[in-house]
Amino acid sequence: MSHNVDEIRQIVRRVVLRTLQGAGGIEPGGSETSHRAIVTAEEMGRVEPGTKIEVPTEALVTPLAHQVAMERGITLAPASAAPSETRPASAQGYVVAIGCDHGGFEMKEDLKAYLEELGYRSLDCGTHSTEAVDYPDFAFAVARQVADRAAFRGIIIDGAGIGSCITANKVPGVRAAMCYDQATAINSREHNDSNVLTLGAGLIGPNLARQIVKTWLKTDFGGGRHARRVDKIVNIEQRYLKSR
């Protein structure tokens, strides 16, 4: 049984789609075009050699398209993300608001110095000693800097990290995540686009705290299906605000 060129292309396309679906590229029940754009080798063949093109983060690039791009010297770069998803190419000059209660003071001071080592500018929202204070005051101070876009991200430290996380999440525009290892730091950024990190100084040591902070700051938001879910979180927040 013979096929013309167009029929062969359609067959190959269906095979590629099934392969990608099996690898998790397309969600079960999705159509060929309902979830993601597909970059094909044919399209790469129409691009001028040596060109740099932006590809949407959720797009699927076929293996043959990658090969053609490499052979033609074409650079495939992620498309520019929305402001809330963007991580700076260089940390230089980006402000990270940081705050704590009395239980997190020593860790905050250590992380301030570490942020400077990484190239960020820290905005210290207090507290400034080990004298007993109330964590909601300082969690709110950090969250407000992030919500007002005075800071790129925010970090809050208290004894367990839970209370500050609850407080920060009361501020519209803030998605705070309490992280206790590098895996949760990655997940909170890739899946939830978190912009505030809370840490429990009574639960983790200074070295692990540094690892979590570095991982959290350097991990990009995953976009794609995660973007749809984060949008739903934002919509819940907006619906509640409008109903008041």
Residue range(s) defining the domain that contains residue 185: 95-218
Mean pLDDT on 215-234: 93
Residues 158, 212, single domain; the answer is yes
Query: 102 an active-site residue?
Result: no
Mean pLDDT, all residues of the chain: 82
Residues 116, 75, single domain; the answer is no
Distance of alpha carbon 193 from its chain centroid, rounded?
A: 4
Residues 76, 106, single domain; the answer is no
Per-residue pLDDT tens digits for 153-209:
999 999 999 999 999 999 999 999 999 999 999 999 999 999 999 999 999 999 999
What percent of the chain is predicted at pLDDT more than 70?
A: 74
Question: Is 223 a member of any domain?
Answer: no
> Which member of 3, 35, 102, 191 is catalytic?
191
Residues 166, 194, single domain; the answer is yes
pLDDT for 45 equals: 81
Mean pLDDT on 131-138: 98
Question: Is 237 a member of any domain?
Answer: no
String of DSSP letters for the chain: ----HHHHHHHHHHHHHHHHHHTTSS-TT--TTTS--EE-HHHHHTSPTT-EEEE-TTPEEPHHHHHHHHHTT-EEEEPPPPGGG---SS-TT-EEEEEE-GGGHHHHHHHHHHHHHHTPEEEE----SSS---HHHHHHHHHHHHHTTSSSEEEEEESSSHHHHHHHTTSTT--EEE-SSHHHHHHHHHTT---EEEEETTTS-HHHHHHHHHHHHHPPP--THHHHHHHHHHHHHHHHHHH-
Residues 62, 110, single domain; the answer is no
pLDDT for 96 equals: 98
Per-residue pLDDT tens digits for 74-106:
877 765 444 444 445 457 569 999 999 999 999
Question: Is 226 a member of any domain?
Answer: no
Residues 124, 206, single domain; the answer is yes
Question: Is 161 a member of any domain?
Answer: yes
Query: How many domains is the chain partitioned into structurally?
Result: 2
pLDDT for 217 equals: 97
**CATH number for the domain that contains residue 155:** 3.40.1400.10
pLDDT for 14 equals: 52
pLDDT bin (cut points 50, 70, 90) of residue 9 is low
Which of the residue ranges 60-64, 131-135, 141-145, 178-182 would you say has the lowest mean pLDDT?
60-64
Residues 64, 25, single domain; the answer is yes
Of residues 60 and 47, which shows the higher confidence score? Answer: 47
